[in-house]
Chain A
């Protein structure tokens, strides 16, 4: 055996040893660059050179709230205020629906607390006609895209006005018109579909690009790797987003990352340029999205983006994170809070103050309350004021086949 002796040394299995539970130290976030530190590569820069930045992080906002460095997207004050409003609306929306869960009006919810900047800035940085293949913490794509929040509430309440007719789990929105592919409960499936959509857009000479979303935990799925390969082979016009919020239900990110330094590392093996970005920095998210989109629109191929953030809440209303998460993790998180970060920037610019912030917060709470009242008037999952059982057979197929028509008639009786 080439000089090697079998049985000289017992083999040992390595198991990631991240400490968990309320008594554990919050995990360190690795490789954080200073704002403005990371170079902005050329759109067609060789992937080998971009891979050298795999342990760096695109950050624009410094600790004092100033925008700095080559990634500053130079947004106007109005654009910044719009971004702040989008994020605050998402947070108010989440808070109201969590309250609805406590009130027993909905059976399930997933908030995106602490991750609002990623979807909100990404959506604003792309064209409205571009197509998103989201997973379940990108409600900001719909909200920043102007989708009516009352419709989202109707879906979550599963009431008589539910656009998905009571069929889909709450928060699993779908809107073809707003570029929001239907959400799957089985993970990573949308990644291959997003690449396929982008390939088709290129094949048919269209100008729209795709943006596919995945959580860091779900990158363990085979679909993730197949998607990267297809995107690489066909230079698909797609942005491949990995939202690294540090937790896959109870499992820390190192289980899915393996021995790689970062999730951005996943790109190089497929020759896909990859950025690592402060996901709690609205300006960095906006700028990195524009860079990736420019590559896609210029037929330069896919870009992988690791958005570093923190899932501040539970995975969903069905789990208790205090069992597995270290206490004080949010306050220990070095990238702060996305809303507070952008608020500080606007204040620094002299374009915002506490009074305006409080007024906006009140305005959004009122907007959310009014929308919820409107949705609630259509009933909720608990009121039974919902879809007609006969509709169960609609959309199983494009047409209603004879045997389903017979079953529908039996339900109607």
Chain B
């Protein structure tokens, strides 16, 4: 299946929010398969502190929507234990920052168990969490840590940018027989978009060209992918035709779609919300130069956060998080670079 084959919502489809699309996916998977259940802090009676599980316990009861004590390690351990018995758990870590509290269970256990079992185990485990900055939640509640987990073989990493992708990618994640880290962005929860009522899957590992263009490729994911579309519209007014590639899944990475685009546009910028240094953009840039070096008219540009913890106050945070204006500036810089030696 190529990226072009991924189903798209029909024009005129009803619109729901990013978080509603997530809940819909969870409920559809739970209704279809009694082996699917959710567990985590405040996911039951409260419906999750971000309301990402609103109504799930009401519909499926407390045996399939399990409130847990506050122990991230035990929550992931519970998911691993349940997954190897053949259940299909969705375990929630509330804030993405808390994945680090459970890092051993995720990186040293979940990601490696199948391998260490000689292939005997199957881990259909979905770890859900809410990441990103922009709500003045400060250093320990705002991070974008996806690059850390992309570095771990054995786990897949998904970070959708819109309600349609949320629903389809979540369905696919739950049906995966591998551990998946599924990241929602806290600033996107209320964003609306067209989403089909019925169940559908978007296969993991397929990027999408969310805006075709001819002058420069802009690669991104999560909220930054949505902001990239805004930046692209701004740049269109300046005569710069931007093609936006939304990776959707970071690991496995669909570098083919990126490279195909870059070979047409000859210029590329990677934008993400995490800090630039050691960010996932570096991996994307490296693979682009490996596979499309002869097509590049400018170095691969990067737009990302500066190298500091996420500050609290909006006066600092707004300067910290890449926004459409900064993304657009990064694209202009890539486009403005002259064709040396040609």
Using a CB–CB cutoff of 8 Å, the interface residues on chain A facing chain B are 13, 15, 20-21, 107-108, 158, 162, 166-170, 172, 184-188, 217-218, 220-222, 248-251, 255-256, 258, 318-319, 323-324, 381, 384, 386-387, 389, 391-393, 396, 403-404, 407, 411
Stretch at the interface among B216-224, B234-242, B265-273, B308-316: B308-316
> A108 near B136 (CB under 8 angstroms)?
yes
> B45 near A386 (CB under 8 angstroms)?
no
With a cutoff of 8 Å between Cβ atoms, the chain A residues found around residue B277 in the complex are 403
> B45 near A324 (CB under 8 angstroms)?
yes
> A222 near B73 (CB under 8 angstroms)?
yes
Known: A186-B97, A318-B49, A411-B319. A393 touches B308 (CB 8 A): yes
> A404 near B71 (CB under 8 angstroms)?
no
With a cutoff of 8 Å between Cβ atoms, the chain B residues found around residue A387 in the complex are 311, 313, 315-316
Scoring B residues 260 to 288 as 1 if CB is less than 8 Å from chain A, else 0, what string do you get?
Answer: 00000000000000000100000000000
CB contact between A185 and one of B41, B42, B97 (< 8 Å): that residue: B97
Scoring B residues 73 to 100 as 1 if CB is less than 8 Å from chain A, else 0, what string do you get?
Answer: 1100000000000000000000101101
> B67 near A255 (CB under 8 angstroms)?
yes
Interface positions of B from 210 to 267, Cβ below 8 Å from A: none
B333 adjacent to chain A (CB < 8 Å): no
With a cutoff of 8 Å between Cβ atoms, the chain B residues found around residue A169 in the complex are 136-138, 140-141, 312
Interface positions of B from 41 to 65, Cβ below 8 Å from A: 41-42, 44-47, 49, 62-63
> B319 near A158 (CB under 8 angstroms)?
no
Kindly provide the distance from the CB of A385 to the nearest chain B CB, expressed in whole angstroms.
Answer: 8
How many B residues face the partner with a CB closer than 8 A?
Answer: 42
Scoring B residues 280 to 320 as 1 if CB is less than 8 Å from chain A, else 0, what string do you get?
Answer: 00000000000000000000000000111101111110011
Nearest A residue to B48 by beta-carbon distance?
A250
B101 adjacent to chain A (CB < 8 Å): yes
Known: A251-B69, A256-B69. A389 touches B316 (CB 8 A): yes
> A250 near B46 (CB under 8 angstroms)?
yes
With a cutoff of 8 Å between Cβ atoms, the chain A residues found around residue B70 in the complex are 187-188, 217-218, 220-221, 248, 251, 256
Bound Cα distance A258, B95 (Å): 24
Kindly provide the distance from the CB of B301 to the nearest chain A CB, expressed in whole angstroms.
Answer: 15
B109 adjacent to chain A (CB < 8 Å): no
B68 adjacent to chain A (CB < 8 Å): yes
Kindly provide the distance from the CB of A17 to the nearest chain B CB, expressed in whole angstroms.
Answer: 8
> A396 near B315 (CB under 8 angstroms)?
no
Kindly provide the distance from the CB of A396 to the nearest chain B CB, expressed in whole angstroms.
Answer: 5
Known: A220-B74, A255-B68, A256-B69. A407 touches B307 (CB 8 A): yes
With a cutoff of 8 Å between Cβ atoms, the chain B residues found around residue A168 in the complex are 138-139, 312
